[in-house]
Amino acid sequence: MALILIRAENQKKLLNTLADIERHAKLKIEGKPRVIPSESADKIVKEIIKQKLRSKSEIAVITKVEDDTTKSIVHVRKIHPPAHVMVISEEYKEFKEIEKNFKELPPFKGYYSHKNKGKKP
């Protein structure tokens, strides 16, 4: 399981990025992505990359994928989504903090997985 943080300018770009992660990166998103305050997302990215950000996000989500961190990084690097995508590895202190608070974050509305289409409950 890996955590992916997505920072975007708007909801449309965020939804397109989630679709790209499933369709093109071929990663399986677990459950619903969770909304994280954009300021928090920007702070997390800034701490991990240890650089000033080029732009601030307007909307951000955290999502879990079934695949491990290494596979997620390799697959995400091959796509070109319309938003900033960061796979957060277990080696960062932010990983444990996000994982602990994940269920408390509100679910992202408007997203549905195209991979769940046609599956029987």
Helix ranges (H only) for the chain are 11-23, 38-49, 69-77, 93-101
CATH architecture of 2-101: 2-Layer Sandwich (3.30)
- Provide the mean pLDDT of the chain: 91
Per-residue pLDDT tens digits for 51-61: 999 999 999 99
% of the chain at pLDDT higher than 90: 81
Per-residue pLDDT tens digits for 63-81: 999 999 999 999 999 999 9
pLDDT of 118 reads 47
Task: Centre a 10 Å sphere on the Cβ of residue 75 and count the other Cβ atoms it contains.
Answer: 17
pLDDT of 74 reads 95
User: What confidence tier does 121 reach under pLDDT thresholds 50, 70, 90?
Assistant: very low
